[in-house]
Every structure is written in C-alpha cells, then in structure tokens.
Structure 1
C-alpha cells in the first residue's frame, strides 16, 4: 500500500491545476489531441514542440518582430493609448523572443511614432536628460496629460476646423484657455533652455 504525504497530495493538486489551465488555454480544435498527456510536464513539452516551431521559424518570427518594431508608426486616427498598447504588444513579443531593447531607444521610438499633432510635445520630451532611464509607462503617463489638448489642436488643424464659429471659441472656459496657454509656453521655454 502506497502512503501519500500531504506534500505529495499538494504537488498532485498543483499538477492537475496546471494541466487544466494549459488545456483550457488551447484552441478548441486541439483539446482532444492534447488531452492524452497525463502530466503537466509532458503536456507543456508537446505544446512547445507543436506551437513553438523550429529554430528557423523562431528566427523568422524574431526578424519579423524586429522589422515591425523598426517600422512602427501611428496608424490612421489611432489615439495615444492605442499607439502605446500596440507598441507594448510588439515589445512583449520581442522580449519573449529574448530581444533586448535599450530604454532610450524604446522611448525615442514611441515619441517618433506619434502623429504630427504631437510634434511639439515630442520635441520637448526628446530633449529630456532622463529619457534614457524613464520607463515607457512613465513617458506615456506624462504624455497622456496633453492628450486632450492635442486632440483639440488636431481638430483645429483640419479643414472643418476653420469653420469654427467665434461663439464656439468663446464657450471655452477662460481657465482652460489659460491652462492651455501656460502648457504651450512651458513647452517652448523648455525647448529654449535645452538649446543653451
């Protein structure tokens, strides 16, 4: 008679949970094919072999991801958040493939990929001395502050923007106008300071 210790039962319970989690993560059409593997270790090895590809496939995937990263730009009317999220997906895939990206390069890539209405902000942020150590999340959160102002600037730059009535402009709260003016002046000042 085999005696199971509490540790053995705990290990078996964790193995069953892990196996179920792996099976549930597979597409439905693969469930029956992988269900025959009784241990998590066997199941995981088979999943990696089936979906991981060989070295040539991995190299091709890695090169494609590097190319996507190199050519990364805003798409159409994509928002700041959508651009950030799309870049995060590419970065995550590159990290999974063991491709390292320097923080400064990553931040510069994000800034240069933004739409033209972000130009003033990107110029200011590209001159920052701590850009090489700042995380991409921090940079995104700093830029998010200007998201509404940039959207307004984009709308104003469109052909229909010239048809804005004087009454529409007068409806903008005086404090908001002053805040926008201060932000633009601060951006210009920081550019001048960086020149000297």
Structure 2
C-alpha cells in the first residue's frame, strides 16, 4: 500500500494491478528503462547527437550550453558519458568560426585537460558580452558614417552643341 501512495497518479495507473513489490518494480523497470535493445538505440542516438553537435552563428552561449548539457546529462544517465576533457574539447570545436580567436587564446593559455566545462562556459559568456558591446559600437559608428554620392545629370543646350569652344571658355574662366 505504501508503494501505491508514493507514486504519482500516472505511475499508479500502470501498476495498480500488481500484487507484490517485485511485480511493481518489474513493471516500473520495463516502463522507464525499456529493454536492452531500446536502451542501446537511445545511447547510439545520444552519441550521434553528441558527435554531430554544432553551434549556430547567432546562438547565445547559454542556449548552446543548455542543449549540450541535455545531451551529456542523458548520456551520463545511461552510464555512457565521456571525460570532462572531452566535453571541453568538443564544445570548443563546435563553436562558430567567429569564436576562433577566443578558442585559440583558451587553448594556448589554459591546460585543457584540467579546464572544467563550467569554467569554459563562464569564460565564453564574458567574451560574448564583450563581442556584443563591440558589435553595437561598430553598428552605431556605421550608421553615423554615411557615404555621400553626387548625382550628375547630363543636360545639353543648342549653344553647347554649336559652339563647343565657347563652352570650354566659360568653364575655364568664371
């Protein structure tokens, strides 16, 4: 009876016909862990998502990290995680090309084998704020500097076509 009361209603509906605690446990295992083949397929899918993980140009580091963290947390839930060093390297490789300068600086200044993913994310978030400020300043200056173009209109009069020397004389002498 205690097991029935401890479970949410949705779970209770799955197990209310079970007579023993072992039956309840088996039912919950099948429901939540699936069988080995399904588990292997989920792991393969997550590994594939991890390997093909990319970051889009205008995506913020917070949202990128949320997506990345979902994948690695799911892998860890199946006991299939990678090393922390691998996560850091993967995240750096996935960054969009505009981040290459920062990636190179991080690789040269920090020991990647001991760099935590959270520390990397914090570092990238600070750089992201700086890049946004520079971008806003650049866009503001771009609006201030306007190019001025001259429009010329070709007009001719009968005098100009008949007496080109007179036109030249007027142009040279005001």
Give the shorter-chain TM-score range: 0.5 to 0.7
Residue 142 of structure 2 corresponds to: 164
Task: Identify which of 77, 84, 88 aligns with 1:96.
Answer: 77
Partner of 2:161: none
Partner of 2:98: 117
The alignment's TM-score, normalised by the length of structure 1, stands at: 0.61
Contact 1:80–1:114 (Cα < 8 Å) also in 2 = no
User: What residue in structure 1 maps to residue 38 of structure 2?
Assistant: 57
Runs of 5+ in structure 2 lacking a partner? 146-174
Question: Cα deviation per residue 1:92-124 (whole Å; 9 max; x = unaligned)?
Answer: 111111113122211011112122322211111
The count of corresponding residues between Structure 1 and Structure 2 is: 145
Q: Is contact 1:74-1:115 (8 Å) kept?
A: yes
Alignment of 1:136-155 (within 5 A): 136-152=117-133
1:1-196 to 2 correspondences below 5 Å: 16=2, 20=5, 22-23=7-8, 28=10, 31-37=12-18, 42-75=23-56, 77-152=58-133, 161=139, 164-166=142-144
Compute the TM-score of the two structures, normalised by the length of structure 2: 0.67
- Cα deviation digits, residues 8-61 of structure 1 (max 9, x gap): xxxxxxx94x7555425xxx5x65233444776643431221232221111111
**Which structure's CA Rg is the greater one?**
2
